[in-house]
């Protein structure tokens, strides 16, 4: 699988370094391109990308590129994904997949019409611990699911883009793919209703979201997430609650601890967390290798989506985020 990456920023650096450590000959860092007016020669040399393209168009027209990985700011996801699909390429789009559900539905329909692979880079959904959690749920370890609590109180104000209405910022588009990704991984996509309370940042984007999602089977999941909480108040966990107990992880995106708890809060079982490749720099992010292994396998098998992050899941997440912003009266100027 020859990867062509559009964008050479933070996430591109993390994934490039981890793919190099993976050292899988079937996953090739083939070509890179960056925004007009910028040069990615240094990026290519640092991470071993074989070819530097002068433009995104040049990258997408290269017949050797098997997968176009779109790792650019949120506002450019839709246009570049559409361009890549129209060029006949398989596409991976960084989270959030699109700005709203209309864009998401159009891109998915285009990929399906052309019979092309398309996936949102919901990398936590590919972690082995997610499969282990689902196995416990399927086995009935915690009984019939009754609800969930997902909390991700963070401060990411060091990222200028999250504060900007013009760049598609806000807590929801930054953290929503993590919280809603966890929810849809384990509770599914059959959502009945969504209600939200939103606190806005001074720029007009959402700074805090309190979301209640009611499923068609009656299960209710509560989500709280922020982008500006004081660092000393940082908190993150998720609980999947059942009639006989619950499963708790200490991190929504990349758990270090996963436990099955009884009704009295006693630890019934520790679910092991396998070791993962870690970015050789700061911050110490890890675990991106699993998604790329899955993408290579999907392309090799001729599939158009990944079971770990389906089109239905991506669309469900986009619909919930769009509805939350609608209830809050937040609309981006380019929508």
pLDDT digits 0-9 by tens, 289-299? 999 999 999 99
- How high is the mean pLDDT of the chain? 97
**By three-state DSSP, how is residue 305 classified?**
coil
Can you give the pLDDT at residue 280? 97
Class at the top of the CATH hierarchy for domain 2-123: alpha beta
Residues forming CATH 3.40.50.720 domain(s) in the chain? 2-123
Distance between CA atoms of 152 and 227, rounded to whole angstroms?
9
Distance CA 133, CA 143 (A): 13
Stretch(es) of the chain classified as CATH 3.30.360.10 = 125-279+310-328
pLDDT class of 200 with cuts at 50, 70, 90: very high
Q: Average of pLDDT values for 268-272?
A: 96
Please give the average per-residue pLDDT across 293-318, as a whole number.
98
The token pair that represents 141 in the structure block = 């370890």
The C-alpha atoms of residue 310 and residue 250 are separated, in whole angstroms, by 25
- pLDDT score at 251: 97
pLDDT in tens, 100-124: 999 999 999 999 999 999 999 999 9
pLDDT at res. 19: 98
Fold of the domain built from segment(s) 125-279+310-328 = Dihydrodipicolinate Reductase; domain 2 (3.30.360)
pLDDT in tens, 217-263: 999 999 999 999 999 999 999 999 999 999 999 999 999 999 999 99
Q: Tokens in use for 326?
A: 């609608």
pLDDT-derived band at 80, boundaries 50, 70, 90: very high
DSSP states of 250-287: S-SSS-S-EEEE-TTS-EEEEPP-----B-SSSS--B-
For position 113, what pLDDT does the model report?
Answer: 98
Please answer whether residues 171 and 227 qualify as being in contact, where contact means their C-beta atoms are separated by less than 8 angstroms.
yes
Cα(22)–Cα(24) distance, rounded to whole angstroms? 6
Percent of the chain at pLDDT exceeding 70: 100
Question: pTM of the prediction?
Answer: 0.97
Helix H or strand E segment including 237: strand 235-242
């Amino acid at each position: 699988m020859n990867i062509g990456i559009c964008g050479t920023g933070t996430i591109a650096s993390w994934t490039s370094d981890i793919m190099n450590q993976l050292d899988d000959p079937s996953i090739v860092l083939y070509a890179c391109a960056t925004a007009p007016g910028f040069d990615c020669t240094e990026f290519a040399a640092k991470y071993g990308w074989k070819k530097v393209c002068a433009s995104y168009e040049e990258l997408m027209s290269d017949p050797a590129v098997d997968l176009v990985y779109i790792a650019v700011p949120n506002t450019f996801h839709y246009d570049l994904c559409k361009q890549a699909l129209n060029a006949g390429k398989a596409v991976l789009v960084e989270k959030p997949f699109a700005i709203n559900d209309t864009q998401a539905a159009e891109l998915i329909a285009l990929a399906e019409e052309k019979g092309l692979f398309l996936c949102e880079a919901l990398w936590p959904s590919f972690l082995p611990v997610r499969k282990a959690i689902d196995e416990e749920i399927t086995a009935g370890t915690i009984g019939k699911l009754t609800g969930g609590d997902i909390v991700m109180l963070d401060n990411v104000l060091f990222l200028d883009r999250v504060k900007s209405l013009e760049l598609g910022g806000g807590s929801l588009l930054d953290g929503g793919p993590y919280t809603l990704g966890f929810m849809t991984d384990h509770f599914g996509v059959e959502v009945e209703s969504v209600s939200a309370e939103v606190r806005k940042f001074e720029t007009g984007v959402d700074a805090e979201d309190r979301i209640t999602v009611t499923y068609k089977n009656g299960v209710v999941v509560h989500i709280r997430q922020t982008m500006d909480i004081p660092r000393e108040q940082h908190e993150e966990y998720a609980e999947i609650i059942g009639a006989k107990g619950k499963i708790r992880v200490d991190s929504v995106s990349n758990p270090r601890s996963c436990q099955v708890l009884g009704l009295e809060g006693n630890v019934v079982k520790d679910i092991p967390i396998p070791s993962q490749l870690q970015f050789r720099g700061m911050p110490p992010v890890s675990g991106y290798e699993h998604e790329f292994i899955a993408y290579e396998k999907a392309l090799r098998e001729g599939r158009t989506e990944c079971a770990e992050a389906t089109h239905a899941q991506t669309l469900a997440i986009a619909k919930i985020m769009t509805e939350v912003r609608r209830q809050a009266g937040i609309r981006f100027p380019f929508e």
